Amino acid sequence: MRAIGKKVRRIDAIEKAFGKAKFTNDMNFPKMLYASVVYPGVAHGILRSLNVEKAKEVEGVVKIATYKDVPNNEMGIVTKDMHVLVPVGGKIRFEADPIALIAAETKEAAEEAAELVEFEVEELKPVLTIDEALKDDPIVNGERNAAFHRKIRRGDIEKAFEESDLVIEMDFETGYQEHAYLEPQSVVAWWDGNTLTVYGSMQCPFYVHNDVAEVLKLPLNKVTVVQMETGGGFGGKEDVPSYIAVKAALLSYLTKRPVKLIYSRDMDFRETSKRHPSKSHYKVGFTKDGKLKAVKATVYLDMGAYSTLTPIVMYRSVTHAASAYDVKNVFVDVYGVYTNKVPTGAFRGFGSPQVLFAMERIMDEAAKKLGIDPWEIRYKNALEIGKETATGHLLEESVGAKETLEIVKEISDYDNLKEEVKKFNEGNKYKKRGLGWSHIIYGVSLGAAGQFLDASSGEVHVKMDGSVLVMIGGTEMGQGAKTVMALIVSEILGVDVENVRVMQPNTSIVQDSGPTVASRTTVFSGNAVRIAAERIRDNIIDYLKSSGAEDIKVENGYWIVDGKEIPFSEIAREANAANVKLAEMGWFSTPRLKYDFETGTGEAYVSYTFSTQLSLVEVDLLTGRVELKEAWVSHDIGKVLNPVGAEGQVEGGVVQGMGYAISEEIKHDEKGRMIVTNFNNYIVPSIRDIPKVHVKFVESPFSKGPFGAKGLGEPSLMSSPPSIANAVSDALGIPMNRLPITPEEVLLRL
């Protein structure tokens, strides 16, 4: 192929490197106002009074909005369990529950006024842990704190345990993870009296489109959402931008002036969603030769004050709870639990890192007790064509699971590596090294629980000079989606990648294409673009044939017509002059999945990626510091469309997963107030912490993916935490079943 699988420069690299890319904060309009948000600073209570008179006196204040100003004050992406602004007499459920909004001529005036808003809160006892929440005293939200439930009931679990030669039971716990995107939440909204236009940093412009229209009670054709360049998302800009956008949109609607709302890092930490903390109990049965017989798990996810996307996150938790293995007896319960803390929601991996960590720790403990190598026990239980996933989904194609295990064993020189680690440990008293495996599965697409959103649109327009414009419903947030779309168009039309421009999504132009999540962009947006480009190619071919051409090929950037090479620019100019249709829309959706939600069995996802990671860690026994020295990783992603981009995804995912595993921790005080609110005390890996990462892909093509591709964005993180945790457990000889494994945790366990 001329473009697919070749090394190319990112098509948005130059404008970002030279500061020409337009982010939300770069947007400025005449008479623009600046917004601030008023928070109660109380984790649980009743808002008894709210007085904005002093705040109104600040010079430059134009409008102070309270619950009385909101046309529709109910919000929630799945369940309407939150307010845009807490009403007087209403319940405050976490410290950053917004109670008022300020619009002023300057940012400084808006912030000063926010400090002068007076309110009275009757404090209630906060619920701060999963264990406290399960007592339902008090109730945080709704009718009970354990408000949502997902399950799998497959096989005869009790009989399977009776037939097991080894049964392992263990408890696990994981903490928060902050997305730590470079660009905080940001939006500019402008109601001109007829149309509301929202510019924002987001992953899902269509979520914002729907939510803003609903809150302001406007028809959708009076709301336009324009995706700006987005400085990172990782799930943190899936549903959250809706909550940010409605604030600015409300103020603009009330003032008829543009309103800019840019969150500070402190605001972003306190108000916006995180990865769910979890507690889980696993009971897993094995035969004496290491074959899995049964998996039984009970998992609790801490939702915080509001459910946000938790019911959907739980679906992925339950379907991934038994990891990437062939096991026919599965009994899983996952519960979403309200607490009086920051809401939790989408984060790269989307509810699967918590359960994969637990299952992969179990696999290592089983290998240890049975005297089997950790690699061997995984290989013995790995999925392949003809096997079924934990939900009973029969795998008929694109299963490179065993190949990923084989590759990592090969590229790490595993047998010699084990000997090197053994020698190091024998020669060092206060530093110990360990090796840790992980082998994971990831369902590509929104799955059976999100099929109503699982389709995407793509538009391709060929200009008369041969340059091409592309617009998709998916978003670019740094992952390289634009470059992949350009590669697909380049391959099909024979146009140079540099001559393809991928525009920002605009809800008034492109059809609702669902969210940019679930590692679905390459498959769904990529297929939509492929369909559109192929239609244009076929339109041109039909024209050329009608003009007498007989042999037409597209190769190496040229159209070869009856043996003559013609540049695409010349083809486009001729086709345009002949009134050939050179603009097409593609639409891609998949067949409906057959899944029984009552038993949690059936076809959970469109396809699956499989990943293996081996990690080498070094632990300082005097300080407790864990260092990831080296990682070997292999992912089956169907087909590698952009090799450089794919390698970057894996390297970034390994490091972000490393942060989750060993350093990133958010804490609250006894009153439920967050005490980690910036990067001074929230420790993300720096450039000095990045290990050597060796990456090699497996290409097991997926028939419904563009050129055979599947997804990679999330699995690249998911393999890292369990692999590192297993490596630390190996180094210390102690089962490390809580994340993050901080220096304090290591020293306490020692």
Q: Please choose, from the candidates 120, 5, 3, 117, the residue with its C-alpha nearest in 3D space to the C-alpha of residue 61.
A: 117
What are the CA-CA distances from residue 518 to residues 203, 606, 609, 627 (Å)? 11, 11, 12, 30
What pLDDT score does 13 carry? 94
Across 590-679, the runs of DSSP E, i.e. the strands, are: 595-596, 601-602, 607-620, 626-636
Hey, what CATH class is 278-448+596-749 in?
alpha beta
Query: What CATH code would you report for 31-124+185-262?
Result: 3.90.1170.50
Structure tokens at 285: 């049965």
Across 223-326, the runs of DSSP E, i.e. the strands, are: 223-227, 259-262, 278-286, 292-304
Q: Please choose, from the candidates 441, 595, 594, 460, the residue with its C-alpha nearest in 3D space to the C-alpha of residue 519.
A: 441
Question: What is the largest distance, in Å, between two alpha-carbon atoms of the chain?
Answer: 83
Q: Please choose, from the candidates 103, 149, 488, the residue with its C-alpha nearest in 3D space to the C-alpha of residue 303.
A: 149
For residues 25-32, average pLDDT: 97
**CATH of 13-20+458-589 among 3.40.30.10, 3.30.365.10, 3.40.50.620, 3.40.50.10330:** 3.30.365.10
What pLDDT score does 53 carry? 98
The torsion of the CA quartet 537, 539, 542, 546, rounded to 10 degrees, works out to -130
Cβ atoms within 10 Å of 623's Cβ, excluding its own: 12
Across 96-205, the runs of DSSP E, i.e. the strands, are: 100-104, 118-123, 146-154, 166-174, 186-191, 196-200
Q: Using one digit for the tens of pLDDT, what is the confidence trace for 624-661?
A: 999 999 999 999 999 999 999 999 999 999 999 999 99
Is-same-fold flag (13-20+458-589; 278-448+596-749)?
yes
Q: Is residue 555 very low, low, confident or very high in pLDDT (cuts 50, 70, 90)? A: confident
Cα–Cα distance, 614 to 413 (Å, whole number): 11
Q: Structure pTM?
A: 0.97
What are the CA-CA distances from residue 593 to residues 159, 451, 696 (Å)? 30, 8, 31
For residues 122-137, average pLDDT: 98
For residues 709-736, average pLDDT: 97
What are the CA-CA distances from residue 534 to residues 488, 491, 512, 640, 736 (Å)? 10, 10, 21, 20, 52
Q: Using one digit for the tens of pLDDT, what is the confidence trace for 294-318?
A: 999 999 999 999 999 999 999 999 9
Across 480-622, the runs of DSSP E, i.e. the strands, are: 500-502, 552-555, 558-561, 564-567, 583-589, 595-596, 601-602, 607-620
Whole-number average pLDDT of the chain: 97
Could you check whether the bond before residue 277 is cis, i.e. omega within 30 degrees of 0? no
For residues 702-725, average pLDDT: 97
Q: What does the DSSP 8-state code read for residue 512?
A: P
For residues 325-339, average pLDDT: 98
Cα–Cα distance, 596 to 214 (Å, whole number): 32
Structure tokens at 488: 């697909």
Q: Do 122 and 281 touch, CB atoms closer than 8 A?
A: no
For residues 351-367, average pLDDT: 98
Q: Do 110 and 103 touch, CB atoms closer than 8 A?
A: yes
pLDDT higher than threshold 80 for residue 556: no
Q: What does the DSSP 8-state code read for residue 121?
A: E
For residues 8-33, average pLDDT: 96
Amino acid at 605: Y
Domain boundaries, the chain: 13-20+458-589, 31-124+185-262, 278-448+596-749
